[in-house]
Structure 1
């Protein structure tokens, strides 16, 4: 009996230690977030173990574990037609409301899912539910892009897939097939999907061969740069669920097909030190001292090394590629972009990426709506239904949908 009690106590202590993470009192439903984060960390630990013993790449295992019970067939209903198809070699899932009379021109949203370029799917329950809800409430055709994932592919392949599918959809023949109004199209995405959506929008804006341009872009807590991993939000939220600073850096390195041995150098900004001439002018484009509000800057100080590792740029040339980091686009590119919605969350390492992009777009003359949620955390929008319901998830989703309805 004593042995059982001791064992039960030990298990309880270990569980409490694994689950409990100190969180700010302002974050939405902290205990629920702790449990969600513990589940995600457990899946990461399993995938890392499988990688270590040589069973499979850790991201491939993590994606399998995450999606095993979450894949959703394209289920249509009386007022919604859902189909899986292929756009110029890229798989997509299409949500079409059937409430309008045949031939009526519809609004449309091209949606690119998040997941660190390595996880998630247009076919998972979370993104199927989100796109279905957007399609119903906005009364719009939603095209959810199933781009190929890391580690099977790397930068720029996910971006190329997203651009290929978008360009195909924007052709007059395809828009006519789906009865889409060419003047009422939006491009949207969350997290890494927000990165791809922003980059696709920039590419389309500057491509004379794409004659039909999107009316809007809507970016949900987007990943937009890898030159500074010490912005105030990266410092403030470095250990926050669901994506810590170190986890975000590893997602970047996997996306760029680079060894994790570079992680520490990136974490302390050695790749943008003063002796790396290629990055000096680019850092000015994300000078958070001038681009962030005082309430975000607080007392945080820039991390700028006088000497670092100049060889990193030679080893990882994508570090200064604007297709990977849309935030460092030149102003003449930003001036071509459509009306923009950006959503950020206080308890998110990526808060400042989205905030700086909103400011740079405004300075380029673009009409920008920036919605910030003080109790929000990274990824919260897809946690808006049972069994992972968060009130801030529902509020961010509903605010995003409201903006689309009013502006598309």
Structure 2
């Protein structure tokens, strides 16, 4: 190899290392694997054509969303149907002792823009859940951005939930009406929490959820300066900038307002709709332990986006931000499992919701992973395998076995 080739190889290697490397705090599990994943996603976004969401979807379909196949978990029957016009995939375990089984409604994550119930890690995950719980699992393919915005994904999920909870459908699938839960991760955790709230207070529903399992849920869009947002703002798989982008896309806010949202100008003191009572519902200085406040101070803008709450009412709608629900609504919610990760911008959303539910007497189990990061729960399969993901999934299954 000549001098030019040596220099070229060195420069190429150095450039790749610089592109891939992201400084992480101590405690992040398998950081180089996470760096490579982050670099791959960044590359897919930059090289894509057309809308960047569709570019990432194409990338995921090629590399990450292969079909699991019938042999992945033998004994689980899979069928694609619609519930009230909403596409769902139903997984029916056949290895139990007969009789009535558990039922679980699952909403996948992906920032209300990515992910599919019928492909990749979510298909594999729900097959395993069905088998291990001897359950009927219904995974919902709700509509996504940019094709739709709030409240359409929520309405899809609510329609599917009401259909599943009907006596006729539960009987058809031999599901015990006393053991039906709702679950989801990230944006899916948001949808699961919102649907659980609505079903719990709907007097027309004779069957209600007996449990909710929320995995690092996104629960509010008014404060992007929580301690976890600042601590983990550059940690893959979900940066603070990406979190804000997903929220404003979902809520139909003009994308040009991303920087003001990052500065909390949308929730400034001049917003008359943000009463002291409402602010207290997402005030992390009241709802987080000293350990998780990280010696940080709240950021509340004095001036900002005048009238934004009137122009984007979804910001205050509990169907989009379940953390903002009043105590009366929360008190009717089913017992909860809330999984949080230390290295996740959404950590404090989950911890605040845990505290608010506990304050009104709801039984809550908070499973906190000090070495966890956003997305790890579904990273169980090659090439995205993380030990913390396997541990988190096992504990989730154990809780559902005991509580559903």
TM-score normalised by length of structure 2: 0.96
Aligned length in residues: 400
SS at match of 1:222: coil
Alignment-derived partner of residue 232 in structure 1: 227
1:163 to 158, 167, 183: 158
Alignment-derived partner of residue 292 in structure 1: 288
State yes or no: 1:61 paired with 2:62: no
SS at match of 1:324: coil
Instruction: Give yes or no for contact 2:41–2:56 (8 Å, CA) kept in 1.
Output: no
Distance in 2, matches of 1:15 and 1:80, equals: 43
Distance in 2, matches of 1:290 and 1:314, equals: 27
How far apart are residue 74 of structure 1 and its match?
6.0
Distance in 1, matches of 2:369 and 2:310, equals: 39
SS at match of 1:370: strand
Instruction: Give yes or no for contact 1:272–1:280 (8 Å, CA) kept in 2.
Output: no
State yes or no: 1:200 paired with 2:201: no
How far apart are residue 98 of structure 1 and its match?
0.9
Distance in 2, matches of 1:177 and 1:372, equals: 37
SS at match of 1:214: coil
State yes or no: 1:398 paired with 2:394: yes
SS at match of 1:262: helix
State yes or no: 1:221 paired with 2:211: no
State yes or no: 1:260 paired with 2:255: yes
Which structure 2 residues correspond to residues 122-141 of structure 1 after superposition, within 5 A?
Answer: 122-141=117-136
Alignment-derived partner of residue 183 in structure 2: 188
Instruction: Give yes or no for contact 1:74–1:84 (8 Å, CA) kept in 2.
Output: no
How far apart are residue 66 of structure 1 and its match?
1.2
1:82 to 78, 82, 88: 78
State yes or no: 1:350 paired with 2:349: no
How far apart are residue 5 of structure 1 and its match?
2.5
Which stretch has the larger CA shift, 80-89 or 7-16? 7-16
1:177 to 161, 172, 176: 172
How far apart are residue 73 of structure 1 and its match?
6.3
Distance 1:381 1:78, change over 3 A: closer
1:322 to 318, 323, 337: 318
Distance in 2, matches of 1:73 and 1:351, equals: 30
Instruction: Give yes or no for contact 1:187–1:201 (8 Å, CA) kept in 2.
Output: yes
SS at match of 1:186: strand
Extract unaligned runs of 5+ from structure 1. 51-55
Moved over 3 A (4+): none
Alignment-derived partner of residue 44 in structure 1: 45
Distance in 2, matches of 1:46 and 1:17, equals: 18
State yes or no: 1:301 paired with 2:290: no
How far apart are residue 287 of structure 1 and its match?
1.2
State yes or no: 1:389 paired with 2:390: no
How far apart are residue 31 of structure 1 and its match?
1.2
- Taking only aligned residues, the RMSD between alpha carbons, in angstroms, comes to 1.3
Deviations 1:287-331 (A, max 9, x none): 111110111002111001112222322332211111110000000
SS at match of 1:308: coil
Distance in 1, matches of 2:97 and 2:344, equals: 43
Instruction: Give yes or no for contact 1:59–1:118 (8 Å, CA) kept in 2.
Output: yes
SS at match of 1:154: coil
Distance in 2, matches of 1:265 and 1:279, equals: 17
How far apart are residue 25 of structure 1 and its match?
1.6
Alignment-derived partner of residue 23 in structure 2: 22
Which structure 2 residues correspond to residues 362-373 of structure 1 after superposition, within 5 A?
Answer: 362-373=358-369
1:277 to 257, 265, 272: 272
Which stretch has the larger CA shift, 390-399 or 306-315? 306-315
How far apart are residue 78 of structure 1 and its match?
4.4
